[in-house]
């Protein structure tokens, strides 16, 4: 039939629409679990959450940095005793309904399924109507008419089908294509250098929580392209600590320390993140790292303070008192921190 090329063009366009709306499928990190049931729950949760960057992978399968952070956050929330639904609600509140493969029924999700079907029905109607019109025109006698230059058959049909398919595609993407998240990511990437300059400038206005979150997102994007940048990982670790995101902070500092173990900022940040973890094994590793840092330089007030806190929390009161007493020797007589340290020493001695 002469309109076959037009039909093929329309069907290809409709297939493209369906592919744009298609869903996806999904290994998990090796982490210490209390029992097999908890590990199984972790696997199920990470397979049910979609990676915001990859989109075609669950966070269990994705190697993207944001998926790693999400897996770590799922693990941390499980260690805090959160239920499955509470963890999913947290992820949806932070990343939107897109992260779950079973989103709630809303006008947008209805459109996601109805639009492709509507496009197929509309395309089929156009094909049938066009075919019937051709049959009718062939049966009716045509009056004599002036001759016009011949046009390629099916041109108007192809154009109409392409316009419909493109319109449906654009509508589907605008409503369900996560464009706002993509736009926010692009803005965060563009703003990251300026936010980083402000964060490093003591005289500049401190970043608020929203700006710190954008800086963290921009740093993740930069480190995806330059994973060997130890200072970048340190900055991401600081941003994670400021946001209270233990998973991001611990992972970022771990990468920085692995790349540059002699970098004092990386080592101290990693030790602090480990001592603040809810995992006793992390606390133990953080204490060992702090002990090594103290042995290298026992005049660093911040290292001594973290070491004393870590030792006290792990029940090593003698080590904590020794570190605090060393701090008292280093601090000037009028320093306001002396009173706090003296109270801490008395508390440790009473235990």
Distance (Å, rounded) from C-alpha 350 to C-alpha 186? 55
* pLDDT tens track for 75-129: 888 888 889 899 988 888 887 777 777 655 565 555 655 666 777 777 777 777 7
- pLDDT higher at 169 or 213: 213
- Work out the percent of the chain whose per-residue pLDDT is above 90: 25
Predicted confidence (pLDDT) at residue 28 exceeds the cutoff of 60? no
- Using 50, 70 and 90 to split pLDDT, how confident is the model at 139? low
The more confidently predicted of residues 147 and 318 is: 318
**Residue 246: which pLDDT band, with cuts at 50, 70 and 90?**
confident
If you count DSSP H runs as helices and E runs as strands, how many of each does the chain have, helices first? 15, 0
Q: Which long-range contacts (CB under 8 A, 24 or more apart) does 261-268 make?
A: 263/230, 263/231, 263/234, 264/293, 265/234, 266/230, 266/233, 266/234, 266/237, 267/293, 268/293, 268/302, 268/303, 268/306
- Taking residues 249-253, report their average pLDDT: 92
Is the confidence at residue 186, as pLDDT, over 80?
no
Stronger pLDDT, 331 or 174, i.e. the higher one: 331
Range name among 105-119, 210-224, 301-315 with the lowest pLDDT average: 105-119
pLDDT value for 24: 36
pLDDT of residue 104: 57
* Residue predicted with more confidence, 214 or 20: 214
Q: Which of 70, 13, 12 is nearest to 45 (CA)?
A: 70
What does the alpha-carbon distance between residue 205 and residue 181 come to, in Å, rounded to a whole number?
27
CB under 8 Å to 85, separation ≥6 — which residues? none
Query: Model confidence over 39-69: pLDDT tens digits?
Result: 888 988 998 888 877 667 888 888 777 778 8
The pLDDT of residue 324 is above 70: yes
pLDDT at 112: 59
pLDDT, mean of residues 7-36: 49
CATH superfamily, with its number, for domain 36-99: Cytochrome C biogenesis protein (1.10.8.640)
Q: What is the domain partition of the chain in residue ranges?
A: 36-99
User: Residues 303, 314: contact at Cβ < 8 Å?
Assistant: no
For residues 351 and 11, the model is more confident at 351
Mean model confidence pLDDT for the chain: 77
Query: What is the model's pLDDT at position 322?
Result: 94
Span of 21-25, 240-244, 247-251, 342-346 with lowest mean pLDDT: 21-25
- Does residue 138 or residue 174 have the better pLDDT? 138
pLDDT exceeds 60 at position 349: yes
Residues in Cβ contact with 326 at an 8 Å cutoff, skipping those fewer than 6 apart: 298, 304
Identify the pLDDT of residue 66: 78
Q: Which residue has the higher pLDDT, 303 or 7?
A: 303
d(CA 217, CA 51): 14
Looking at residue 114, its pLDDT comes to: 65
Window from 128-142, 168-182, 327-341 with minimum mean pLDDT = 168-182
């Amino acid at each position: 039939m002469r309109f076959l090329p037009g039909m093929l063009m329309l069907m290809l366009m409709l297939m493209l629409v369906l592919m744009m709306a298609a869903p996806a499928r999904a290994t998990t990190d090796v982490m210490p679990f209390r029992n097999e049931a908890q590990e199984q729950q972790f696997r199920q949760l990470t397979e049910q959450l979609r990676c915001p960057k990859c989109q075609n992978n669950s966070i269990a399968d994705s190697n993207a940095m944001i998926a790693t952070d999400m897996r770590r956050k799922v693990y941390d929330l499980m260690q805090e005793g959160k239920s499955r639904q509470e963890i999913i609600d947290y992820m949806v509140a932070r990343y939107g309904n897109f992260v779950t493969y079973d989103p709630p029924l809303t006008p947008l999700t209805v459109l996601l399924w109805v639009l492709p079907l509507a496009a197929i029905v509309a395309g089929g109607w156009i094909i049938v109507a066009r075919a019937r019109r051709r049959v009718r025109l062939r049966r009716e006698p045509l009056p004599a008419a002036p001759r016009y230059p011949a046009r390629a058959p099916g041109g108007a049909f192809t154009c109409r089908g392409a316009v419909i398919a493109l319109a449906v595609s654009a509508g589907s993407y605008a409503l369900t294509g996560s464009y706002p998240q993509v736009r926010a990511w692009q803005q965060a990437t563009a703003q990251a250098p300026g936010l980083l300059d402000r964060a490093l400038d003591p005289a500049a206005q401190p970043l608020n929580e929203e700006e710190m979150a954008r800086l963290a997102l921009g740093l993740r994007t930069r480190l995806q392209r330059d994973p060997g940048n130890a200072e970048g990982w340190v900055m991401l670790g600081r941003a994670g600590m400021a946001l209270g995101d233990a998973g991001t902070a611990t992972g970022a500092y771990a990468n920085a320390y692995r790349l540059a173990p002699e970098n004092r900022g990386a080592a101290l940040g990693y030790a602090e993140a480990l001592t603040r973890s809810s995992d006793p094994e992390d606390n133990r590793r953080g204490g060992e790292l702090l002990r090594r840092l103290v042995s290298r330089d026992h005049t660093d007030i911040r290292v001594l303070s973290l070491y004393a806190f870590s030792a006290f929390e792990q029940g090593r009161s003698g080590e904590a008192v020794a570190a605090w007493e060393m701090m008292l020797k280093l601090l000037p007589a009028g320093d306001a921190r002396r009173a706090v340290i003296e109270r801490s020493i008395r508390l440790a001695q009473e235990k």
